[in-house]
Amino acid sequence: MSLIDDIRADANKRLQVTHGITGKVGTQINVGEKFTSRFVVKNIDTTVAFKNVKLKVSKTEFATPVGAAQLNFNLAAQLNPGNAAGVSVQFTATQTLDEFIPADESPTGKPIFLFASEPFAELEVLADVDIGNVTGLSKLSSAEVDIRK
């Protein structure tokens, strides 16, 4: 690996993506209903900044962003250490993993509802490392020679 590959691999660890459902109808999300999620990208590094921070939000088999199968957002021209930028996206639920077992098929004789988590979005963060902010490199070494020669 090159130094650039090492920087990219390490920089990827410095961008944290979080999400949360911020709007829905009722207490659960049903197929066909719209819901909103907030996505936040945070620079968790203490010294390095990122430029041109973008977020791609793509559909899954369980939900589709309203407006397109994939949405692209320019989140921040500059994301400094500790800063965050986010966007809210509305989705339509398209499928579920939830199951219903009727009473006559249930081992307890009572209906059973099985709820499951579903991946509702594929996310990709794109950013440039602001190399201009990388300063203070220091390498210590010593020079040694046999002065008798």
- Please provide the distance, in angstroms rounded to a whole number, between the alpha carbons at the two ends of the chain: 40
40: closest CA among 93, 100, 86, 97? 86
SS3 content of the chain, % helix, strand, coil (to 5): 10, 45, 45
Instruction: For residue 120, name the pLDDT band (cuts at 50, 70, 90).
Output: very high
Q: Which residue has the tokens 């909103």?
A: 36
Q: What is the pLDDT of residue 141?
A: 67
pTM of the model: 0.80
3-133 folds as Immunoglobulin-like (2.60.40)
Going by pLDDT thresholds of 50, 70 and 90, the confidence category of residue 39 is: very high
Residue 35 amino acid letter: F
Q: So what's the pLDDT on residue 15?
A: 92
- Segment 89-96 shows an average pLDDT of 94
Show me where the domains of the chain are located.
3-133
